[in-house]
Structure 1
């Protein structure tokens, strides 16, 4: 049996950009991706602390060290620049592996820096 478990989280990042006329996704600074154990094209859930909106999308690699958190396409309607978001990823694991799994959680500082 496989179950879906919490894999990693970027807790309280600040939205730096929102581009409505884009194909979709969330662009994340590559430093944040590495620290949170995220890879390009990985499915994530984005939770907006300011307005309660939730959405699922996939990750696009942003410029390393830029602090970029950019909602693209329709997701841009779910947040404004300056909003705080939580970016969560999940993984399928067998039951025994899941019991031992320790998720990765990062807490970015001002400017989405580590």
Structure 2
């Protein structure tokens, strides 16, 4: 197995483990799925900041734009694959133009508000 394939397999395993944890939080712990989705995005942002800047730093505006762009590119790829998978199953994919509800910035866990 090539090193690239090992990385792909590890990425897929990690992704699936995060999804399993999210499903467990919804199905076994009763968390709202929108809250879990927002929490996963927040955790991703916190971790991306840590990887780029460590515990003592933060992302400058350019860094925020870079992470947001990477997130957007990944989401576009995921949606393309989702559409292809649905079509391969003989289904007609239904694009959803908007997320239900308003997008809001969550309040921080330490009591501060944006």
Q: TM-score range by the shorter chain?
A: under 0.3
Higher percent of residues as helix: 2
Which is higher, the Rg of structure 1 or of structure 2?
2
TM-score, normalised relative to structure 1? 0.22
- Select the structure with the greater relative contact order (CA < 8 A; seq sep ≥ 6): 1
